[in-house]
Amino acid sequence: GNSVTQMEGPVTLSEEAFLTINCTYTATGYPSLFWYVQYPGEGLQLLLKATKADDKGSNKGFEATYRKETTSFHLEKGSVQVSDSAVYFCALSDKAQGGSEKLVFGKGTKLTVNP
């Protein structure tokens, strides 16, 4: 079945450091890929998405490219800020066998950025 594997945290960085959070997926079809962010005490918010191979999603300085050949969707940001401290979830959306439509999440990576 479909699955998402993302790097385990926690990740701690200093302000202005470069961020990479790895995400790989397994899917039987042609999934759409998402990064969601969860700030403390809040629900999940969409950060960026890509719906087909080689698409690049970007938002708030974050980027991720849909790589079909490596089944990856790694999240990157060139210079993190304290306000980026949150939990980041990689997810895929696809039709499962039987026609059900599911959003499958990775386990989340907690990022802490120190001033």
> Within 10 A of 56 (CB to CB), how many other CB atoms are there?
10
Q: Is 3 in the site for another protein (CB under 8 A)?
A: no
Task: Provide, rounded to whole angstroms, the least separation between the CB of residue 94 and another protein.
Answer: 7
- Distant-in-sequence, close-in-space partners of 102: CB < 8 Å, separation ≥ 6: 2, 93, 94, 96
Q: Is 88 in the site for another protein (CB under 8 A)?
A: no
Which range, of 10-18, 62-70, 72-80, 103-111, touches another protein by CB under 8 A?
103-111
Q: Is 94 in the site for another protein (CB under 8 A)?
A: yes
Task: Provide, rounded to whole angstroms, the least separation between the CB of residue 61 and another protein.
Answer: 19
Among 12, 20, 46, 61, binds another protein (CB under 8 A): 46
Contacts of 100-105 spanning 24+ positions with Cβ under 8 A: 102/2, 103/34, 104/2, 104/3, 104/4, 105/4, 105/36
Q: Is 24 in the site for another protein (CB under 8 A)?
A: no
Q: How far apart are CA 90 and CA 1, in angstroms?
A: 16
- What is the contact surface with another protein in residues (CB under 8 A)? 32, 34, 36, 42-46, 49, 51, 89, 93-95, 100-103, 105-108
